[in-house]
């Protein structure tokens, strides 16, 4: 090993020692950090502010599509009280569940869990909608989460019962 | 409180406003509440503009000889 390499971590002249003292100038150090911290905070503020715009643009584009298609999903006597039926609404890719509750009311929700998109099932015994993946429970009458990890309600499908048939006529993401 | 300190602290206030606005915008977008998306997007953009003004005022004061 050469002599230079051996001594590379040892100050070999006064100039290096002076640099070391400069580096320990605490006041200067704090000032520089304060400035850098503010600049980083400002950059973050701008980045977060601008990050909202794509959502605004996508909302403006997607806002035109309304879920108002009217589809027949069941006949009124097809389901007994306490039974459920799966269907898709408003598109074939969006599964939903129709429930005839013990109060003899029809309710329907998109049945992708609002936690991690697992399918939600109707539990007749407890009269709840259950997501078995992480034990998320939803109120069958409102679609709102009552236990487990989900925080948001299930999208509600608006129904119309007419001439012995149940129709899906719209959808509300936020309700109740 | 002097101008430099006010501008310094206001940037953190605008940062907090933007964090909340972004979370509301995302929530509104996925909840299809488009009016919320537009409202909080405008709040975030105004806050960003004010933060920019505050930053330049702070810089002017900070680097003044």
Provide the 8-state DSSP code for A70. -
pLDDT confidence of residue B23: 95
pLDDT confidence of residue A76: 81
Q: For the ranges A22-26, A103-107, B31-35, which has the lowest average pLDDT? A: A22-26
pLDDT confidence of residue A29: 58
In chain A, % helix, strand, coil (3-state, to 5) comes to 30, 30, 40
Exposed, middle or buried: residue A113 (CB in 10 Å: 0-12, 13-18, 19+)?
Answer: buried
Q: CA dihedral in degrees (A160, A161, A167, A173; nearest 10)?
A: 30
User: Quick check: A1 pLDDT over 50?
Assistant: no
Contact A49 B32 (CB under 8 A): no
* Residue A57, CA distances (Å) to A69, A89, B40 in order: 25, 25, 13
Residues of B near A (Cβ–Cβ under 8 Å) read: 8, 11-12, 14-15, 18-19, 21-22, 25-26, 28-29, 31-34, 37-38, 40-41, 44-45, 47-48, 51-52, 55, 58, 62
pLDDT confidence of residue A86: 93
CA angle A51–A149–A173, rounded 5-degree value? 60
Q: Which residues of B touch A49 (CB under 8 A)?
A: 18, 21-22, 44-45, 47-48, 51
User: Quick check: A23 pLDDT over 70?
Assistant: no
Q: What is the per-residue pLDDT across A96-148, written as a single tens digit (0 to 9) for each?
A: 999 999 999 999 999 899 888 899 999 988 999 999 999 999 999 999 999 99
- Give the residue among A71, A88, A66, A65 at the shortest CA–CA distance from A159: A71
User: Quick check: A6 pLDDT over 60?
Assistant: no
Residue in A with minimal Cα distance to B36: A56
HSE-CB of B61 using CA atoms within 13 angstroms = 13
Q: For the ranges A51-55, A75-79, B3-7, B30-34, which has the lowest average pLDDT? A: B30-34
Q: What is the residue range of B50's domain?
A: 3-62
- Provide the greatest CA pair distance for chain A: 99
Provide the 8-state DSSP code for A160. E
The answer to whether the predicted template modeling score (pTM) of the entire model surpasses 0.80 is no
pLDDT confidence of residue A69: 81
Query: 3-class DSSP state for residue B38?
Result: helix
CB-based contact A138:A145 (threshold 8 Å): yes
- Give the residue among A109, A117, A116 at the shortest CA–CA distance from A128: A109
Q: What is the CA radius of gyration of chain B?
A: 15
Domain total of chain B:
1
pLDDT confidence of residue A88: 92
CB neighbours (10 Å) of residue A62?
11
pLDDT confidence of residue A138: 95
Q: Indicate the pLDDT class of residue B34, thresholds 50, 70 and 90.
A: confident
Q: What is the per-residue pLDDT across A54-109, written as a single tens digit (0 to 9) for each?
A: 999 999 887 766 667 888 999 988 889 999 999 998 888 899 999 999 999 999 99
Contact B31 A174 (CB under 8 A): yes
d(CA B19, CA B13): 10
């Amino acid at each position: 090993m050469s002599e230079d390499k051996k001594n590379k971590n040892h100050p070999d002249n006064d100039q290096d020692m002076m640099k070391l003292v400069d580096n320990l100038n605490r006041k200067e150090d704090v000032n520089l950090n304060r400035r850098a911290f503010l600049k980083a905070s400002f950059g973050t503020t701008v980045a977060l502010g601008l990050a909202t715009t794509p959502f605004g643009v996508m909302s403006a584009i997607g806002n035109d599509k309304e879920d108002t298609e009217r589809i027949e999903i069941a006949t009124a006597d097809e389901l007994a009280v306490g039974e459920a039926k799966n269907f898709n609404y408003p598109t074939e890719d969006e599964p939903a569940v129709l429930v005839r509750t013990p109060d003899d009311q029809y309710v329907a929700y998109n049945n992708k869990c609002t936690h991690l998109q697992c399918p939600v099932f109707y539990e007749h015994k407890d009269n709840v909608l259950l997501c078995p993946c992480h034990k998320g429970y939803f109120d069958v009458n409102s679609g709102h989460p009552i236990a487990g990890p989900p925080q948001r309600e299930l999208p509600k499908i608006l129904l119309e019962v007419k001439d012995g048939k149940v129709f899906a006529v719209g959808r509300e993401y936020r309700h109740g | 409180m002097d101008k430099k300190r006010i501008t310094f602290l206001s940037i953190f206030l605008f940062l907090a406003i933007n964090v909340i606005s972004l979370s509301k915008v995302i929530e509104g977008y996925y909840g299809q509440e488009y009016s919320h998306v537009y409202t909080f997007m405008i709040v975030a953009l105004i806050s960003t503009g004010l933060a920019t003004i505050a930053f330049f005022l702070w810089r002017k004061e900070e680097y003044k000889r």
